[in-house]
Amino acid sequence: MSRAPNPEHSVRYAWYVAGLLTLVQIVSYLDRFLPSLLVQPIKHALNLSDFQIGLLLGPAFIIFYVTLGLPLGWLADRINRRAILAVGIAIWCTMTAAGAVANSFLTLFLTRLGVGVGEACVAPVSISLISDYFTRERRAQAISLFMAGAFLGAGSTFLFFGPLVHYIQSWPAVTLPLLGQLQSWRLCFLIVGAPGLLLTVLMFTVREPRRQERVAIGSASNPDSSPSFADGVAYITRRWRAFGTLFIASACNLTMGALALWNIALFKRTWNWDVAEVGLAVGLILFTAGPAGTLLGVFITRRATAAGRLDATLRALFIGLVIGVPAYTVFPLMPSATLGLAALFCAHVGQAMATAAGPATLVRLAPGQIRAQATASYYLVISVIAQLIGPPVVGLITDGMGDPAALRYAVSIEAAAVGIPSIVLVLLGFAAYRRSVAELDAKIEKLSLTPALAGVGVAR
């Protein structure tokens, strides 16, 4: 049922907020991926082992990113979200810039922990804000725009910042006030991290919207009251089939994406490509396939929504998996790098569809009071699964085959072993998802028709 427009903001302003949050997403991925471009100079300057480099690229960021997401999501359901995001941006950009003065593995590790702390709030807070600025009819498009920022950020890192970092590393050491003499690789952290602080200022142009689609949950009998953390967990677990379907689909999708960490080694061992060639090719693919997949997902969602389907966003996610899983499975087995890149493009189109549709699917399940908490739970579950069964298993399979060149088969085996069962399980979960969406929609509809509670309806 259509609702009256929300007088708090215009549609144009809502899209401004969505665009700003997308920019935040892009910058967060630039800061997140920057160390992967500086592996060799960091390793040489700080005398690090490959294992220590691996810790900097993975666990150093992910530890706090996933563990703090849940409490920050719970907090975002209760206090000013703009303030949380502004503080988070300031923390991660400051810690990125602080990498410029790290003089040991420990100090650089701590700066990467700080980046994870700051970025932990981005997805839960942003998706919660976007959900309250848009109606259900437009929400999937806005969330898809935000999620496209992940591919634009990762693609920009390889496509634009790769050459920039290469250029900066040709500079001689520079002496700066207070910081002293900095080697060129250290300047990269400073140049990438410091400008991001401007986003902290821009966040104060965002008005905190009225929270929408609130229903009574658990001990909070009034829709306007905030449920406890336990109430939020109970709401999700009671609907485990619906949430589980989404978590399985998105965990599979994120695991496919995590296999990309092997791309440099795979292209080198299989087709003898160097780092620069792979970086340029993969950067172009991310920069083009990401938006293409996002737009395709939006098109499918809009068509399904217009047809009255409650599972419109889940349908887009599922189709993304159907495209992405086979493509990820076959791309390492291609007889040439060109054909491999073509298959990888298709894989990223599917992954982008599923990535954009995941949070949009989640907000159809989660009431307004627990939306940020549910989003944080979502990212916690899928990130842990992807980290545990993603790249490490590929390494184990390759080692078990006893030949480094077998990496291509290991990637293909894992893509198929994870992807095919996930597609089947998601297909079986559609009915449970539709039931849970219909249940929540009915509660929201009932409240919107109650005069005393009309204010909790959906904003236009």
- Give pLDDT tens digits for 318-371: 999 999 999 999 999 999 999 999 999 999 999 999 998 999 999 899 888 888
Name the strand (E) or helix (H) holding 100: none
460 falls in which pLDDT band (50, 70, 90)? very low
Q: Which CATH superfamily is domain 11-456 in?
A: MFS general substrate transporter like domains (1.20.1250.20)
pLDDT of residue 64: 82
What six digits make up the tokens of 460? 């236009």
Task: Assess contact for 352 and 289: CB atoms under 8 A.
Answer: yes
Write down the residue that tokens 């719970």 correspond to.
Answer: 74
Of the two residues 449 and 7, the one the predictor is more confident about is 449
Check residue 219 and give its pLDDT.
Answer: 58
In sequence order, the 6+-apart residues with CB closer than 8 A to the CB of 354 are: 249, 250, 253, 297, 316, 317, 320, 321, 324
Tokens of 452: 């005393």
With a pLDDT cut of 90, the percent of the chain lying above it is 41
Q: Phi-psi region for residue 248, left (φ > 0), alpha (ψ -120 to 50) or beta?
A: alpha
Mean pLDDT of 197-215: 87
**What integer pLDDT is reported at residue 9 of this predicted model?**
65
**Would you place residue 399 in the very low, low, confident or very high pLDDT band (cuts 50, 70, 90)?**
confident
Is the separation of the CB atoms in 162 and 286 below 8 Å? no
Q: Are strands 174-176 and 180-182 parallel, antiparallel or unpaired?
A: antiparallel
Report how far apart, in Å, the C-alpha atoms of 391 and of each of 32, 38, 387 are. Answer: 18, 20, 7
Render pLDDT for 410-452 as a digit per residue (tens, 0 to 9).
Answer: 899 999 999 999 999 999 999 999 999 999 888 888 776 654 4
Contact 289, 345 (CB under 8 A): yes
Domain ranges of the chain: 11-456
Examine the pLDDT at 458 and tell me if it is beyond 50. Answer: no
Choose among 314, 135, 125, 124: nearest CA to 213: 135
> Alpha helix (H) ranges present in 99-172?
105-119, 122-133, 136-156, 162-168
pLDDT at res. 220 = 53
Alpha carbons 57 and 69: distance in angstroms, whole number: 19
Alpha helix positions (H), 210-311: 229-238, 240-258, 263-271, 275-306
Per mean pLDDT, which range of 177-181, 217-221, 298-302 is the poorest?
A: 217-221
The least confident of 98-112, 138-152, 262-276 is: 262-276
**Cβ(64)–Cβ(75) under 8 Å?**
no
Instruction: Please give the single-letter amino acid code of residue 166.
Output: H
pLDDT of residue 4: 35
pLDDT at 266: 85
Return the pLDDT at 44: 85
Q: What is the pLDDT of residue 216?
A: 60
Confidence of residue 317 (pLDDT cuts 50, 70, 90): very high
- Mean pLDDT for all residues in the chain: 85
289: left (phi over 0), alpha (psi -120 to 50) or beta: alpha
Outline where DSSP puts E strands in 9-129: none
Beta bridge partners of residue 181, listed in sequence order: 175
Taking residues 151-179, report their average pLDDT.
Answer: 78
How many Cα atoms sit within 13 Å of 167 on the Cβ side? 6
Query: Residue 161: pLDDT above 90?
Result: no
Residue whose C-alpha is closest to residue 134's, from 18, 294, 300? 18
Judge contact between 150 and 96, C-beta under 8 A. no
pLDDT above 70: residue 405: yes
182 φ, ψ (degrees, to nearest 5)? -120, 130
As beta bridge partners, residue 174 has: 182
Lowest mean pLDDT among 17-26, 42-51, 87-96, 242-251: 42-51
Under DSSP, is residue 388 helix (H, G, I), strand (E, B) or coil? helix
End-to-end CA distance of the chain: 11
Q: Quick one: pLDDT at residue 218?
A: 61
Q: So what's the pLDDT on residue 163?
A: 76
Give the model's pLDDT for residue 402. 85
Between CA 398 and CA 410 the distance in angstroms is 6
Question: Which of 99-103, 242-246, 422-426 is predicted with the least confidence, judged by mean pLDDT?
Answer: 99-103
181 or 234, higher pLDDT: 234
3-class DSSP assignment, residue 220: strand
Q: What is the mean pLDDT of residues 289-312?
A: 91
d(Cα 181, Cα 239) in Å, to the nearest integer? 57
What pLDDT is stored for residue 221 in this prediction? 55
Q: What single DSSP character describes residue 3? A: -
Helix axis angle for 50-57 and 59-67, nearest 10°, is 30
Radius of gyration of the chain from Cα atoms? 22
Is pLDDT above 60 for 5? no
- Exposure on the CB side of residue 171, measured as CA atoms within 13 A: 17
* DSSP conformation letters of 182-211: E-HHHHHHHHHHGGGGHHHHHGGGS--PPP
